[in-house]
Structure 1
Amino acid sequence: MSRRALRLFPSRIWKSRRVEKSMRRVLPRSLLGRSLLIVFIPLLVTQAISLELFYGNFLKVVSRRLSDSVSSEIVLSLNALERLHKQSDKEWFVEQARDHLQLVETWHAGAKLRRIGFNHVLGPMDEDLAHALESAIDHPFFVNWRSDPHTVKISIQLSDGVLEVEAPRKRLDMGQIWLFVAWALGSSLLLFIIASLFMRNQVRAIRRLAHAAEQFGLGRDIGPIKPEGAQEVRKASVAFNRMQDRIFRFVSQRTGVLAGVSHDLRTPLTRIRLSLAMMPRTGVVKAEDLRGDVDDMIGDVVEMEHMIDSYLAFARGEGAETPLMVEFAPFVEDVVAAARRAGARVRAVSVQKGLHVMIRPDAVRRALTNLLDNARRHGGAITITARSVAEGACILVDDDGPGISPERREAVFRAFESGRGGGTGLGLTISRDIVRAHGGEMELDVSPSGGLRVRILLP
């Protein structure tokens, strides 16, 4: 790039930005206005091009052909009159031209023309007639457009007189061009109004979605919005409703878990406070006398640490881990191997060959580990099955334990509800939270072996 180009480069950028700012001031700011502008400008350009290319050329061609037709008939009349020398023969031919050629011809013997050319400019019609007469005849002529609004009077100077021809204007005129223009513009305006009504309905759905998102951002629960409008807008509305439901569920779960943790921490804290209050304040105290109280307080502290660790694991359920495409068979084998080391009795593992799933590996590993740990504590033999379905990947975890009654299956997903068997009560809550964070769902059912079946669907 030359030095001059380098010097001009910033000024060009400034000018382009200035033009862009000017365009922004002129263009409408709303989506409806811009959409209507996108519809109106191509419609207007298309009509203008069609009028110029089609109707303009059509008008010129037809006008030339009509003028050539009239001029050729006039030439025929001139040739005939020059051949006929008797006055009676000329009058006979004039009558024949009036009847068959729709030309009113009058012969003025010995007359002379006073003007030559034409006295009115209508556009291509009179110009085409003048050009056709100039190219067809060699005699002087005058075209009078003002004598009669319905006819055109053409006077031709011959050697022995003047031939006056009155031709109907309808033989030269194509009709009112403004009628066609009005029809084209009217139809375009009608189509534009119809498009505006449809576009307004589409924009109304987008406005409603934007209003719902704004209200939701302000913390106001307006409930799910009704999907309306185009398919893309409907999908956006459905996605917004799902996002709203997930956020509400996320907040309620976190609030419930926090309330449960704060409630459960009061018990060990109360016991620690009671033990500290019962310790002697004065005198010599033997270590043997305090050993039991110290052990109890240590046990309470361990219990509190376990609760806090469980809550932190639950809080990390959705995490910021990057999703990866994972081959599921070796992934499940790793989870099963870890569960067997922890004491789980996994009877069978069946994973469809070549099954790949887009997941957050650590989060899904935590969810499956919680399920296997629950099956180990409540059941006996465990069976894991994973296969591809139409909705995505389906994972089944079956055990032969006591199972869960149908009326309690939804309740055990709440925090601290499933902690009666020695756990913290957050395992199933964390697992379903992770699955839903992947856009899937987890359900409980009866296992074929008589225990509990956990069905996980990952998209």
Structure 2
Amino acid sequence: MGKKSWIKSFLPKTLLGRSLVIIIAPIFLIQVISTFMFFDRHWNKMAIRLSYAVAGELVMIATLIERNPDPEYIQSLTDLAGDRLGLIISYEPGGVLDKTPDTQEPSRWAKYMSRTFTNELVQQTSRPFTVDVDFEEKWVEVRLQLDQGLLKASLPQRRLFTSTTYIFLLWVYGSSAILLLISVLFMRNQIRPIRKLAIAAERFGKGRHVENFKVEGAREVRQAGQAFLDMRTRIQRQIQQRTAMLAGVSHDLRTPLTRMKLQLALLGDSPDIEALKGDIDEMEKMIEGYLNFVRGEGNETPVSAKLLPLIDSVIVAGKRHGNSIHLQAKELEDLTVTLRPLAMKRCLTNLISNASKYSHEVWVTVEQDEPSTVSITIEDNGPGIPEDQYEEVFKPFFRVDMSRNTETGGVGLGLPIAQDIVHAHGGMIALDRSGYGGLAVKIKLPV
């Protein structure tokens, strides 16, 4: 997998998701960089200054006690430190420090939090000391070894670590979260018209009516929506004009053909007359084939119908002509599909009758491998079609060979008509080699 493919696999697939990534990613990077710079510059400097001040106070008290170890003086000094500095000071004459600075931290987090204060004490005094941080009680205890005793000092954590830091970060990230929420709501409203346009285009592509579609959204989205409506109007108008024109052509051509048939009927029977009658019949079939191809699904309205009864009716009609047709369906009696019944019936009739003409048996298999699609496979045990002509047979008026055309009297429009009908339903049609030795026509329709 290439680098680009690896990146694409992690990118959201929807426009909303990608838009949010475009918004969130820069904000997240800015927040991370800002937080790093804030801790590195502001918070760290504030911690150093606070630690420097507290360390200086403790060193000053220790120096004063060493200069004047009088108990009354020490008591007045500790009282003053508690009232003015917030330090709880106690002095133990003759006391000895029972821990060394290298082993006094109880945890990594305590070591990290007390590192700055410890460094300041090291810089300001050479006396042995320990620093214990109680995060639950939010107190810091310092033991400082003096020449004649042990100095103990307790102070709240706020003397060493500024509490406004977390409030500031909470405000920054909280405001960012609120802005992101507003961005999500705004982007959803902006993408909703695009989603409606996609649904409308998909329905129109499947040959279904598009109702209640309104042009809305940003200017570019409105332009795309209006272009879709204009395109739909032009396509529908062209189809109607083509159908009306071919209907008129059909009437104009059939009228002289009917007169010719009547005149030939009055002339009696002869080999030449029978040949002319055959030519006229072939011309009528050609005209009917042209009309069916151009008409397509016509103006038939899509409806929700059960698929198996429709297929079964086509098979029953085929069996009346002596064809051997087998239906294979797996518990799909209640499967409902949105389709144009007459157009789909014409499509299946063309395919099944075509398979029956060139084989002894035909198998129709209906399966639903996926919830959104249904597969219809029509197979036969006939001679089939060369694989290099699988695409060519879907071209209008293409004939596989002359002998096949002479037998059926077709004009090479059966498969193109079937393909147009399947595509009009939003489906796909393809040819393959049948497991029975002949041709397999595979259709996939959306459910």
Q: Output the TM-score relative to the length of structure 1.
A: 0.48
| TM superposition score normalised by structure 2 | 0.49
Structure whose CA Rg is larger: 1
Q: Which has the higher contact order (CA 8 A, sep 6+)?
A: 2
